[in-house]
Structure 1
């Protein structure tokens, strides 16, 4: 598929406890570009800091500017306090955010289990 014909892409960001994974895909799901905090040669807890997140987002925005893509569907997965930083970064950028989805499912312990009967 020719990259020049793309009008909008999906940006999937997965926050894990030790790493941050970012993939840029077309609407059908074919991966166009990916990066992670570990690929920036940062080790340990340095991978989840503010500076590495901004450097990763800078790489993604450079790729999108080079490909002349302006519309983004943003998909956030995982639990982290840094999701707000990502949203602020793309809010102040020149990209049009068409949709934001947050797929973080937090369970509320579900149904109560029955007591075991002791005889």
Structure 2
């Protein structure tokens, strides 16, 4: 079968948005930490996670992996001109505090820090305790 010609393939390039204000979403689970940087309307500018950076298994859930994920996502977002951010932290994982501490060293103006972790009003029964 013949290969399609190079001229027929359309290349879609990412357009660089110039955004000065944004929101950083930090979602920390017991197994991983996900960081998403979006503009005020919710359009994603950059994202990163511990697993994307090469951490595997139990090392994904470490505070250092969360710190690395945050700095990676913010450096990608700074290419769009990000300066002022609001931070929303969600989840019970060990990467929450480390990611917030890493944020102070990244020369961003933090306007607000919100904890959006969903708390049950005595909802589902939690999983049983591990016996090791």
Give the alignment's TM-score, normalised by structure 1: 0.78
* Contact persistence 1:64–1:70 (CA under 8 A): no
The residue number in structure 2 matching 1:52 is 65
Query: Following TM superposition, by how much is the alpha carbon of 1:57 offset from its aligned partner in structure 2, in angstroms?
Result: 2.0
Taking the aligned partners of 1:93 and 1:32, their CA distance within structure 2 comes to 17
Higher helix proportion: 1
- Equivalent residues, number: 109
**Long gaps (5+) in structure 2:** 1-14, 124-132
TM-score (norm 2): 0.71
Cα gap change, 1:58 to 1:80, in 2 (>3 Å): same
Structure 1 match to 2:79: 66
Match of 1:115 in 2: none
Task: List gaps (5 residues or longer) in structure 1.
Answer: 111-119
1:3 is aligned to 2:20: no
Deviation at 1:51, TM superposition (A): 2.5
The answer on whether the counterparts of 1:15 and 1:21 sit within 8 Å (CA) in structure 2 is yes
CA RMSD of aligned residues (A): 2.0
